[in-house]
Chain A
Amino acid sequence: AQTVTQSQPEMSVQEAETVTLSCTYDTSESDYYLFWYKQPPSRQMILVIRQEAYKQQNATENRFSVNFQKAAKSFSLKISDSQLGDAAMYFCAYGIYNQGGKLIFGQGTELSVKP
């Protein structure tokens, strides 16, 4: 069975600093996608970044980048130049082909940003 583990329930970062959120997953599939979603206190889930497993290059979106290690089944999110608006719950999610669009979410990491 596929599982997603986020081992850090809470993280804290100083404004303008860099923070890395960890995510590991377990699967026997070779084709899949990985996502990081952000859910601020307003509760709307927002896509942060997406990575296709067949791509070796790590995805990047502005201040957000991932470190995708397929062999290690690791998918960490790095947030550079942290801003107060980055404070949110971050969910790592895994989806595979031919599973009807099902996403498997990790338990989440609550990130706080200190001014």
Chain B
Amino acid sequence: DTEVTQTPKHLVMGMTNKKSLKCEQHMGHRAMYWYKQKAKKPPELMFVYSYEKLSINESVPSRFSPECPNSSLLNLHLHALQPEDSALYLCASSRGNAGEFQETQYFGPGTRLLVL
């Protein structure tokens, strides 16, 4: 089973709202990732968690706040977003310690976010 689930599928929010995206995997993976993807562009890495600790933050604005409560769950908290933050947000996971070797990343279906 290589399933990564993401909720919600779609989200519309105003610039003053606070919302959260959720990602879950039950494959026993210990590395989890958040990506942002604009239409017809490749995914851009935002954050990497390895063994529930934040290991990479790609200089993402503080209005995006990641959280990894346990090894199966990854959240992305959103606050005071801008219209240019509208995009597809993809979660991925991989088996091992992301710092040691390049594991295959398995992606979720994404959350399509629209900021008005």
Q: Which residues in A have some Cβ–Cβ distance to B below 8 Å?
A: 32-33, 35, 37, 42-47, 50, 89, 91, 93, 95-103, 105-108, 110
Stretch at the interface among B13-21, B69-77, B107-115: B107-115
- Chosen A-B contacts, 28 in total, with CB atoms closer than 8 Å, are A33-B102, A43-B112, A44-B110, A45-B43, A45-B90, A47-B105, A47-B106, A91-B42, A95-B102, A96-B102, A97-B100, A97-B102, A98-B100, A98-B101, A99-B102, A100-B56, A100-B99, A101-B31, A101-B48, A101-B50, A101-B56, A101-B99, A102-B45, A102-B56, A103-B102, A107-B41, A107-B42, A108-B40
Chain B, Cβ-Cβ closest to A50: B104
- Residues of chain B within 8 A of A35, CB atoms compared: 104
Q: Contact check, B100 vs A43: say whether CB atoms are below 8 A apart.
A: no
| Docked CA distance A50–B103 (Å) | 10
| Docked CA distance A106–B42 (Å) | 7
For residue A28, give the distance in angstroms from its CB to the closest CB of chain B: 16
> Which 10 pairs, one residue from A and one from B, show the smallest C-beta to C-beta distance?
A101-B98, A105-B42, A95-B102, A45-B107, A33-B102, A44-B109, A100-B56, A100-B99, A100-B55, A101-B48
Q: Please, what's the 1-or-0 string for B36-57, where 1 marks a CB less than 8 Å from any CB in chain A?
A: 0000111101001010000110
- Residues of chain A within 8 A of B110, CB atoms compared: 43-44
Q: Contact check, B41 vs A47: say whether CB atoms are below 8 A apart.
A: no
